[in-house]
Amino acid sequence: MTLAGRGAVVTGGSRGIGLAVARALAEAGAAVVVAARGPDSLEAAAKALCAAGRRAWAVPCDVADPGGVRTLAREAETRLGHVDILVNSAGISHSAPVQKTTLEDWQRILTVNATGPFLCTQAFLPGMLARGWGRVVNIASVAGLGGGKYITAYSASKHAVVGLTRSVAAEVAGTGVTVNAVCPGYVDTDMTRQSVSRIAAKTGMS
């Protein structure tokens, strides 16, 4: 498969699943904009892709900020010319029993993990529809298909991502734009290791 001539945006693209996706897209020939909150790791990710002979740019963005997402869309269009592929991979985790999950924790997780993909989809979908081709891929989780101990907010946020995916996919059916979700299990990333460590510390399990 070749993605030569395609422009892609990957949120959460500075590490973990997002970085792996950005690398795969670039290796397939796409020009890639990686977006994340941390500027240092973000620049390092883009430089690593460029060092491998790929076309990549870093654009700092907090996907929970509507203004930041609008800026990302403008910057991506400027660098890529057009955005054909959007991968919503930015996300955060939280591990705590439901009675110890604060409203602030709940809102923060839902805003980044669910509102972020919503805002990014809103920002990039019009261009895809106008061109009659596009791919939106949301990184959800098996936690968005079931549930689990100590991940109430995270699981709820990923259920929201699955619902968002299904609804938008139905809206754009037949337009040349597809919307899908990937629901990984445990993947060896920094976020997973931190989550497992928090649960182990609170429960004594290993």
Q: Are 168 and 179 in contact (CB under 8 A)?
A: yes
Which residue range(s) make up the domain with 126? 7-203
Residues belonging to the chain: 206
**pLDDT tens, position by position, 152-171:** 999 999 999 999 999 999 99
For the segment 59-86, the average pLDDT, to the nearest whole number, is 98
Q: Are 89 and 34 in contact (CB under 8 A)?
A: no
**pLDDT tens, position by position, 123-139:** 999 999 999 999 999 99
Q: Is residue 2 part of a domain?
A: no
Distance CA 85, CA 97 (A): 37
Number of domains in the chain: 1
Distance CA 54, CA 6 (A): 13
CATH number, residue 166 = 3.40.50.720
Residues labelled as active-site residues: 154
For the chain, give the mean pLDDT. 93
Distance CA 195, CA 181 (A): 22
Please state the pTM of the whole predicted model.
Answer: 0.90
Distance CA 44, CA 117 (A): 24
Q: Is residue 69 part of a domain?
A: yes
Q: Is residue 1 part of a domain?
A: no
pLDDT band at 197 (very low <50, low <70, confident <90, very high): low
